[in-house]
Amino acid sequence: MTDASGGLTPETFLDELTRSRLVAIVRGSDPDAAEAATLALFEEGITLVEVALTTPDALQVIERVRHRMPAGALLGAGTVLTPADVEAARAAGAEFVVTPAVAPSVEAAAAHGIPVAAGALTPTEAHLARLMGATVVKLFPASSGGPGYLRALRDPFPDIPFMAVGGVGLEQAEDYLTAGAVAVGVGGPLVGDAAAGGSLDALRERARGFVRLADRTPSA
């Protein structure tokens, strides 16, 4: 999953994203709880987790998790908006970045060769995100159009890999995957209140459900 220098490449990131079909989004109010939730997700077989920079002390959470996560797992930073955010996430050890919009961070990450999932909703935004170097386009919020909208987007953009994020729960995830999303990104429906101090046991149970779903849903 790395290049000769030891870093994750956009190509290998997309390969892993397409294989695993799932990114967990950790956004919480308690740094220690966010760290514990991230590690629990990895332990339950989710291989890609992003820690949103809106989480208090998110960079420290990323730094700490990097020293404890299992081999083969990939840790990213979410809500990355500026070039400064990219640099900070990179320094903390994030291997990929995720944005909520077509922001300056997209080009900044791409310039460093960092895989980036760029948030976009409209056809124009999706096209622009790819021109700016996005590895994958994060359809956000996916719930505003649903799986049918994703199918419509894929007609003129068959070569754009889309990840559906926003309002994607366990019941909706399979529809997005069969509609052609290479993966889904899931926050609240998966993490719940675990990143704010809630039950890790409940988190683990939800994680197992999402992993089973991703494993049994074939690529479109």
* Mean pLDDT along residues 117-136: 98
Q: How confident is the model at residue 7 (pLDDT cuts 50, 70, 90)?
A: confident
pLDDT band at residue 5 under the 50/70/90 scheme? very low
| Active-site amino acid positions | 50, 138
Q: How far apart are CA 50 and CA 95, in angstroms?
A: 10
| CB atoms near residue 163 (< 10 Å) | 28
At 155, which amino acid appears? D
Q: What is the mean pLDDT of residues 22-27?
A: 98
Q: What contacts 71, CB < 8 A, 6 or more positions away? A: none
Tell me the C-alpha distance between 180 and 91, whole Å. 34
For the cut 70, the answer to whether the pLDDT of residue 31 exceeds it is yes
Query: DSSP 3-state helix, strand, coil percentages of the chain (rounded to 5)?
Result: 50, 15, 35
Domain 10-214: top CATH class? alpha beta
Q: Which sequence spans correspond to the domains of the chain?
A: 10-214
Handedness of CA 175, 177, 178, 179 (dihedral sign): positive
Pick the closest to residue 74 from 62, 56, 84, 86 (CA basis).
Answer: 62
Predicted pLDDT at 219: 62
Rounded distance, CA 134 to CA 116, Å? 5
Model pLDDT, residue 2 = 45
What is the model's pTM?
A: 0.94
pLDDT digits (tens, 9 = 90+) for 165-199: 999 999 999 999 999 999 999 999 999 999 999 99
218 pLDDT more than 90: no
Write the CB contacts of 216 (distance below 8 Å, at least 6 apart in sequence): none
State the chain's mean pLDDT as an integer: 95
The 3-state DSSP class for residue 209 equals helix
Q: Judge whether residue 205 has pLDDT over 50.
A: yes
108 C-beta neighbours (distance < 10 Å), count: 23
Cβ–Cβ < 8 Å for 17, 23: yes
Mean pLDDT of 92-104: 98
Torsion on CA atoms 191, 196, 198, 200, rounded to nearest 10: 50
Residue 4: the pLDDT is 34
The 10s digit of each residue's pLDDT in 107-120 is: 999 999 999 999 99
- Output the pLDDT for position 48: 98
